[in-house]
Amino acid sequence: MKENLYNYILGIADNSLILGQRMGELCGHGPSLETDIACTNISLDLFGQVRSYFQYAAKIAGDQRTEDDIAMLRKEREYKNVLLVEQPNTNFAYSIGRQFLFDVYHLAFLAELQKSPDLSLSAIANKCIKEVSYHERFSSDWVKRLGDGTEESNKKMQEAINDLWTYTDELFHQTEADIVMVIEGIGVDVTKLKDDYYKRVNNLLKEANLQVPESKWFQKGGKEGIHTEHLGFLLSDLQYMQRTYPNMEW
Amino acid sequence: MTTTEQHIDQILIPILEQVSDPEIPVLSIMDMGVVRSAVIVNDIVKVEITPTYSGCPAMDVIGDDIKKALKDEGYESEIDLILHPAWTTDWITPRGRKALEDYGIAAPLDAEADKDVLLNEKRLVKCTNCGSQNTRLVSQFGSTACKAQFQCDDCQEPFDYFKCLK
């Protein structure tokens, strides 16, 4: 089995899985019907993308593992998602802020992954990027509406950005698998996406009448499996059916 | 581009045309452009379909429906889901676009216009009820992943718009 490629794919897919679960939690709880539908649509896109990645990963694993096993039957430390995407839906501004800070990265990442000589990865990226460009449009639009809205909405959006900011730098960290994949020419060198990311994000924040946080202290660990306390609760929800009825099928 | 060509045995076309998207029953999967190839190899029909959106829950159903339609005509089949080349709304046939409009779903505009209407900067989507272009975006996301919600400011009709995917 190609261990590094397998881990590399999981590193990409887990972000979509965990963010998809977070957005799915808003089903029936969105602030309005339209936003509720939008958030769950984004969730559905992300889960669809995850299926493609995990099907490919299962093929590489080459054993009995299925896409469902990979999604549902791992322990907390084995999930490789960044800390940003596991942060809870504290309020709508948080959900939007988290989505926006991830979408800008996700879009730039997929644009590069499309060029990968690994044909499965490039095909998935080529498919996903079309959907993610809609996500990015939606979340940027809402950051602007909230930031440039009322005093209250501006305050909440600013708080969300301030709190989530500490998780942004991790997007550009490389794991061992990442480094090997970059050397082999298959993976994306995320360190090269950083400057452009902050340029785009900062410009939009300014446009939204929001302050760019000045804090230079960043949290990390998710990519190595060291998560915030929030992931355990999320997984207990996500894995509930498989824990309660092992091997059940839909 | 040769990779976007469809390879479909003539004899299979009428069968595949009977299968429709479960979420848009008026639109056959052929007119939607999701069938990329269908060929008979050693008495088994090998069909390749491509998803519209990654998370489209209709894909599993479409695969089952294709199998059933072929079985009814005496064919065994194997269905493969392929991702490359990625589906685009350009593959919806003119007949498909008309079926959408008749059903009350506005057909996708070109990419540039699509962006304008989804940011509510221009009014270009034609109301499927009265034909007016005095329509506005209600939500970028709609009842399924592929659609956005619009409303006509002349006749007040709310309707779906099939988003451009390119």
ipTM score of complex: 0.80
Predicted confidence band of residue B3 (pLDDT cuts 50, 70, 90) = very low
The fraction of chain A above a pLDDT of 70, given in percent, is 99
Across the range B30-58, mean pLDDT stands at 92
Instruction: Tell me what pLDDT residue A156 has.
Output: 98
Write the CB contacts of B153 (distance below 8 Å, at least 6 apart in sequence): B132, B134, B135, B136
* Cross-chain residue pair B141–A141, CB shorter than 8 Å: no
* H or E segment and range at residue A195: helix A194-207
Task: Tell me the mean pLDDT in the region B74-86.
Answer: 92
Contact list, B56 vs chain A (CB under 8 Å)? 48
pLDDT for position A146: 98
- Closest by Cβ to B165, choosing from A119, A123, A130: A130
8 Å CB contact of A134 and B140: yes
Mean pLDDT of chain B, nearest integer? 91
Pairing of strands B24-28, B20-21: antiparallel
Provide the number of structural domains found in chain A: 1
pLDDT averaged over chain A? 96
Closest-CA distance, B2 to chain A, in angstroms, reads 16
Which of B141, B143, B160, B166 to mutate: most A Cβ within 10 Å?
A: B141
Give the per-residue pLDDT at B2.
Answer: 38
* pLDDT tens-place string over residues A12-43: 999 999 999 999 999 999 999 989 999 999 99
Q: How far is it between the farthest Cα atoms of chain A?
A: 56
Across residues B120-142, what is the average pLDDT? Answer: 93
Least confident among A201-215, A221-235, B30-44, B47-61: B47-61
Alpha-carbon torsion, ordered A239, A102, A36, B53, to 10 deg: -80
Residue A114 within a domain: yes
CB contact under 8 A, B145 and A41: yes
For residue A117, the domain's CATH number is: 1.20.1260.10
Probe site for chain A from B83, B112, B151 (most A CB atoms < 10 A) = B83
Tell me, yes or no, whether A184 lies in a domain: yes
Mean pLDDT, residues A67-81? 95
- Distance (Å, rounded) from C-alpha A112 to C-alpha A118? 12
Q: Do A131 and B54 touch (CB under 8 A)?
A: yes
In a domain, A250, yes or no: no
In sequence order, what DSSP letters do the residues of B132-159 get, joined into one string?
-S-EEEEESS-SSTTEEEEEETTT--EE
pLDDT (mean) for B67-84: 94
- Asked whether residue A11 is domain-assigned, the answer is yes
Q: What pLDDT band is residue A1 in, cutting at 50, 70 and 90?
A: low
B2-91 carries CATH number 3.30.70.1710: no
Comparing alpha-carbon positions, the chain B residue that sits nearest to A52 is: B54
- Residue A23 is part of which domain span? 3-210+220-244
**pLDDT per residue as tens digits for the range A166-180:** 999 999 999 999 999
Determine the distance in angstroms separating the CA of A150 from the nearest CA of chain B, rounded to an integer: 21
Interchain CB distance below 8 Å, A126 and B84: yes
Who wins on pLDDT, A221 or A248?
A221
Question: Does the pLDDT at position B89 exceed 50?
Answer: yes
Of B85, B139, B145, the CB nearest to A45: B145
Asked if the Cβ–Cβ distance from B142 to A119 is below 8 Å, we say no
Q: What is the mean pLDDT of residues B77-82?
A: 92
Give residue limits of the domains in chain B. Answer: 2-91, 104-162
Helix and strand totals (H; E) in chain A? 11, 0
* Three-class secondary structure of residue B80 per DSSP: strand
Chain B residue closest to A32 (CA)? B139
pLDDT at B120: 84
